[in-house]
Amino acid sequence: MAEKKTPSKRKKPASSGKKPAAKAAAAKRVPKPGKETEKAAPMGGAPAPEAPFPALPAADLETLETISRNVMQSALKSQKLMADMMRRSLEGDPTLSPQADPLHASPELAKTWENVLGDPELLLQAQSDLYRGYLDLWAGATKKMMGEDAPPVIEPEKGDKRWRSAEWTEHPMFDAMRQSYLLNQRFLLNLVNNAKGIDEETRRKVNFVTRQMIDAMSPTNFALTNPDVLKATFESKGENLSRGLMNLVNDLERGNGRLALTQTDMEGFEVGKDLAATPGDVIYRNAVMELIQYAPATDTVRQRPILIAPPWINKFYIMDMRPQGSLIRWLTQQGFTVFLISWVNPDQSMKDATFEDYIRQGLFEALECVEQATGERQVDAIGYCIGGTMLGSALALMAAENDDRIASATFFAAQLDFSLAGELLVFIDEEWFKEIGRLMDAQGGVLDGRTMADTFNMLRANDLVWSFVINNYLLGKTPQAFDLLYWNADQTRMPKTLHLYYLEKFYKNNALSKGEMELGGHRLDLKKVKIPVFMQASKEDHIAPADSVYRSARLFGGKTQYMMAGSGHIAGVVNHPDANKYQHWINEALPESREEWLKGAKEHPGSWWPHWKAWLLSMNDAQVPARKPGGGKLKPLCPAPGEYVKVRS
């Protein structure tokens, strides 16, 4: 008889079907796919808040391992990237030399905070406000965790796009993080802005630098504190970080070691085809400019032509973007003969070009060409931004030389009095002048377009820097084609002599408005300019502030009309009537202050262009048969937009 065996009490190996401890624990923690799980309700019975990112499906360890592997690979690649950057810097490229304090603001920061710390009353008030804010925030956060509603303690500034994701307000953790950051921001800026014994120049620089640091420390800029990045990391298993790192590598390689932040698809547009496509021809070219004459769009045209002097710090086609928004196309459709100066994108051979060269070889030679092309001796001139600064200087020079070829002048967002010139004044001091000079010498006598782009991007860092850091490097996305950002990235170089002269004479010394500027052996006096003037300003312009433009309008000796548009430096100027956007304010008087002007100003909806057109026609509305480019003494050299505008920096 066979012996009866009893079952063994030894543990079966893992392969017998039992789950390993780690997998079993994971299975308990994470719901199985397809199974509905009941959310635990907090006290009071309210439903638990939604998670800021989706739960992992069955938290299979393979997913966690993939995320860990991608994050680790990104970290290793980052180390190599940093080593390459340090090596390039140490190799001696002067344009890559590290600047711990590029704005040379350390003395101003030290002085300001010394004054802050020496003011017990200011400190006590600021700390009391911060403490009270945090108490209210804690109470509100507790309510939200309990499923109750709680009004925010602090809200971001109007137009701050960093907090658009719903999680920043709906999820208690991210909402508390957002409000905590905003409370600290308010605390620091209040201390800086209310410090006693600080001159305006110092306060402006310290405020700017403090804002730069605050913006950089925003929780939106870090992967672990940005709900959108956390979502993307879990959904893509960390591939967003790998893609983002490659985007960063590509931007550094494109900038030869300097970060050339990609804001748009630079292959998404073609100048002359998608942008700057209004028909016309280049009828003249010299070392500093090409002159474009645009084709007529009507059978008859106004007798007196228009000549536009755009800024040379940007490409002119901001006024000729898409057809539906083009100022130049609109002017031709209204029956004007339009000429435009397209400035050269200068190389090292132009390092010694002067401000007077741009006036005489640019504006004055253009006036001669317009007369040869149309037979008309006088024009209505337009100057945009720095082109307007040049136009105002040229008008004072023409008044001194009894030159009356400009019958009226229109200024788009242009300054002649720089005492209230806005945030760009932060960059005007001796140390910054030395740094700019050093950079231009290192580049053979020109300032590269990237430096100019970086400067303007800093003025709106959250929109033009950090939003792309998040999109490109943390979310791992590729920027889409956007015409305005394409234009913004299509910067021009600056000749050393011209650029330093402009910064010193206007921003630093405000010489033109003071009557201390000389050109061609003449001391310039804007009071001698008696022609009609139209000064356009934009309410939210941070480059040519509305107050600064108003002070400029009062410098002329003739009748000047000041008009303020809604929006900023670009959208306030380029606002096609068909868009039905924004508004503008009109007041024919020009009292001593803009505050007084505003009291008498009437608001009108939409674009200001029709009002300006009526102003132009009120001075001269005689009509002649339409003029085609090449119909006069100057023959076409090439189709618009010409060759100079296509040269990239």
Residue given tokens 């039992």 in the structure block: 18
CA 290, CA 300: separation in Å to the nearest integer?
A: 26
What is the structure's pLDDT at 74? 60
CA 380, CA 357: separation in Å to the nearest integer?
A: 21
Q: Among 191, 233, 235, 240, which Cα is nearest to 211's?
A: 191
| Count of Cβ atoms closer than 10 Å to residue 85 Cβ | 16
Residue given tokens 């800093």 in the structure block: 458
What phi and psi values does residue 628 have, to the nearest 5 degrees? -95, 145
Residues of the chain with pLDDT below 70 are: 1-61, 63-64, 67-102
CA 439, CA 252: separation in Å to the nearest integer?
A: 19
Q: How many CA atoms lie within 13 A of 300 on its CB side?
A: 6
CA 367, CA 309: separation in Å to the nearest integer?
A: 11
CA 542, CA 156: separation in Å to the nearest integer?
A: 19
Amino acid at 312: W
What is the structure's pLDDT at 99? 53
Q: What is the pLDDT of residues 505-548, one digit of tens each?
A: 999 999 999 999 999 999 999 999 999 999 999 999 999 999 99
Contact 312, 645 (CB under 8 A): no
Residues carrying an active site annotation: 385
b/e sequence 341-354, b meaning 16+ C-beta within 10 Å: bbbbbbeeebbebe
Q: Is 557 exposed, middle or buried (0-12, 13-18, 19+ CB in 10 A)?
A: middle
pTM of the model: 0.84
What is the structure's pLDDT at 511? 97
Whether the bond between 495 and the residue before it is cis, its omega within 30 degrees of 0, is: no
What is the structure's pLDDT at 467? 95
Structural Rg of the chain based on CA atoms: 31
Residue given tokens 């061609």 in the structure block: 520
CA 386 → CA 98, 238, 487, distances in Å?
30, 46, 17
What is the structure's pLDDT at 425? 85
Token pair in block for residue 403: 């030159």
Residue given tokens 């006088």 in the structure block: 378
Angle between helices 200-216 and 172-193 (to 10 degrees): 160
Token pair in block for residue 481: 């084609």
Contact 622, 593 (CB under 8 A): no
Kind and range of the H or E run holding 508: none
Contact 371, 627 (CB under 8 A): no
What is the structure's pLDDT at 254? 82
Kindly give the pairing relationship between strand 379-384 and strand 406-412. Answer: parallel
Q: Among 126, 174, 135, which Cα is nearest to 153's?
A: 135
Beta bridge partners of 625: 300
Contact 113, 105 (CB under 8 A): no
Q: Is 143 exposed, middle or buried (0-12, 13-18, 19+ CB in 10 A)?
A: middle
What is the structure's pLDDT at 448? 87
Contact 203, 112 (CB under 8 A): yes
What is the structure's pLDDT at 237? 87
Token pair in block for residue 12: 């079966």
From first CA to last CA, the distance across the chain in angstroms is 99
What is the structure's pLDDT at 635? 94
CA 2 → CA 5, 7, 273, 625, distances in Å?
9, 16, 97, 123
CA 218, CA 229: separation in Å to the nearest integer?
A: 14
Q: Among 513, 500, 453, 456, which Cα is nearest to 355's?
A: 500
